Amino acid sequence: MSAEATNPEARSEARPELRRRGRTRLDLRRLGRAALLGPTSRDRLPDAIGHVAEAHRAHHPDADLSILRRAYVLAESSHRGQMRKSGEPYITHPLAVTLILAELGAETTTLTASLLHDTVEDTEVTLDQVREEFGDEVCFIVDGVTKVEKIDYGAAAEPETFRKMLVATGNDVRVMSIKLADRLHNMRTLGVMRPDKQARIAKVTRDVLIPLAERLGVQALKTELEDLVFAILHPEEYEHTRALIAAHAGERDPLPAIAESVRVVLREAGIHAEVLVRPRHFVSVHRISRKRGELRGSDFGRLLILVGENADCYGVLGELHTCFTPVVSEFKDFIAVPKFNLYQSLHTAFATSDGHVAEVIVRTRQMHRVAEAGVVALGNPYATAAATAATAATAAAAASGATAGSAEACADPYEERVDPTRPGWLSRLLDWQQSAPDPDTFWSVLRAELAQDREITVFRADGGAPATISLPGGASCIDAAYAQYGEAAHGCIGARVNGRLTSLTSRLSDGDTVQLLLAHDASSGPSADWLEHAHTPAARIAISSWLKAHPDGAAATTTAARAPLSVVGARGGGGNAVADLPDATVRLAGCCTPVPPDAVAGFVVRGGAVTVHRVQCAAVAQMRSLGRTSVAVHWRATADCRVTLLAESFGRPHLLADLTEAIAREGVEVVSATVEPPVEQRVRHSYTLQLPDATGLPALMRAMRDVPGVYDVSRA
């Protein structure tokens, strides 16, 4: 199935794949009614699933179709007499859902479960029967897509159904694949319902199903769902976009000629590639029209270039950028850095001599399959493990003489299964949903989580497992703390990002290395301010629960911000610094406390004195912007110097004494020291020290860091 098409209503009528394989359009209404006319002989495939079998064999030539025949017979007989609101026999729905998945390349187990996905929910068929006839795997998937009973859950039935599906998806992503195909067919046939119900279903599709399709990489389903939702929720804008596309259809399209030029360039370069013109779907045209205003002919589509190997992608890129004028801002490399939903491609754009700009996607054929079908293209990565588990379960049942179990038995092969391909966003959903027993909270937080359209990966500095943490874009150190430590993160008091001390509220970037600092005091807890900087549901739920359970503690932790650091001691001395200005008084700046052999800069201030700063100090740029006179400064040959150090530590008894002793052991004189009041279990000390030799400064800082409880020592 193509991920992009110009008219969503025409997709099922004119799929290029069907035309290439010589298949006629599948009339599900006719086939569904024909299926009710009588039983099919046991030695041949029912005509109603002939198109499903043909699409399946196109991706899996050696597939055993006998299980599909048995699944269809059970589905058709159990749904017999049921009709859809459109007047069609109900069997047309599971047939359509199964055909969607077959064209995406789903394997046989998925198609079997798809044919049966409504039997347990809408007929007398039980999960026990499904398991006995088709095995534990099919039973688990069917159970995963089966809605919870509304009579038991009332208004919470919909969010609890999605919760159930998400938990099942954590063990088998094929559950959500069937749900997405099911929703796509329902959206295609939504016109028979009342407008208010259409809008309600479309909003849930927009807020939950489309983001899930994006995260699972199933672009073929995502783009069509977007167009169908667009038509229902924004009819005026949809009609405007339809008019734009219709007007473009009557004009000359420059993209075919550009595609031919690209074919010539690649052929001459000896690169075997297939160059296709991909029309944009409705929502894509709408977005680009809002971005660019008036559209040109080349804006209604993109070029898709398919090659054999990864190296060929970069070869194509080199030829395009050599023979055409590249638009540098449009280049993105999703091969070296894939998206979190498995997507890999090179994106670029170039301008032609006649002023057209063509956007280009370059990928291998395997990348194309994954880009279109996402997790559906991966099949079942646990085929061997699942088969082994099923065999063991069968043998154990036979040895004990056990009969068919309940619905819980369907999940047994999955209990010890950990999916190494499970994306970070799904792991986060599975974690925080356990802490959200309230259906309304779960439903609202789920939508907020799925609204995050970007994911980052940060690395743990402690080397623990797992080595990486996946977080939504915009996440802070607070989110990383709860992702790594769970409720133990209540005692987190700070973090180092890429080796530098920072606050917990600092936002993280993709690839950052994070070390989280926990307090020794078990009674410490989060501040209410953390909620403003927490982006993940797990962090927000945990913080809110703690604050609710500790109202006094919450009030205590929301103390005023730390007062500015006050360093006591003489600053007038110039130490070993000498300015190239006769009779000038030299002072070492207290903001950066330079020491030999720091590179320094001097500036004349009021009164004719020269203040000496390290060249990296922010005050240097400020002095220059104010037009202060710059003076050359150098260090005397004498080695002694004065410096101010800041020590960050956890609060504990005797800490000041231990730090002072460590300083004394290094033979350093303490000129002055200040200790600020504790804030969130952290204490800041400042020491102005006279060193006999500046070369001893690194050793002194190491000795101070070695004092228990001290986690950072830095220059002022």
Point out the residues that are catalytic: 121-122
Phi, psi of 332, rounded to the nearest 5 degrees? -140, 135
The values of phi and psi at residue 568, to 5°, are -95, 135
Residue 688 dihedral angles phi and psi, to the nearest 5°: -100, 120
- Dist CA 58 CA 584 (whole Å): 88
Render the burial of 454-487: b for 16+ CB within 10 Å, e for the rest.
ebbebbbbeeeeeeebbbbeebbbbbbbbbbeee
3-state secondary structure of 580: coil
Distances (CA, A) of 294 to 289, 300, 400: 6, 12, 73
Residue 521 C-beta-side C-alpha neighbours within 13 Å:
15
Question: Where do we find the tokens 């802490």?
Answer: 435
Q: 411: Cβ–Cβ under 8 A, 6 or more apart, which residues?
A: 140, 143, 171
Identify the DSSP state of 236.
Answer: H
At 621, the amino acid letter reads: A
Q: Which residues contact 186 (CB under 8 A, 6 or more apart)?
A: 93, 201
Tokens standing for residue 117: 């996905």
Q: How many CB atoms lie within 10 A of CB 401?
A: 6
**Is-contact 341 284, C-beta < 8 A?**
no
The three-state DSSP-derived secondary structure of 600-614 is EEEEECHHHCEEEEE
Q: Six-digit token pair at 615?
A: 């060249």
Q: What is the C-alpha to C-alpha distance for residues 449 and 427, in angstroms, rounded to an integer?
A: 12
Contact 705, 712 (CB under 8 A): yes
CA dihedral 676, 677, 678, 684 (to 10 degrees): 0
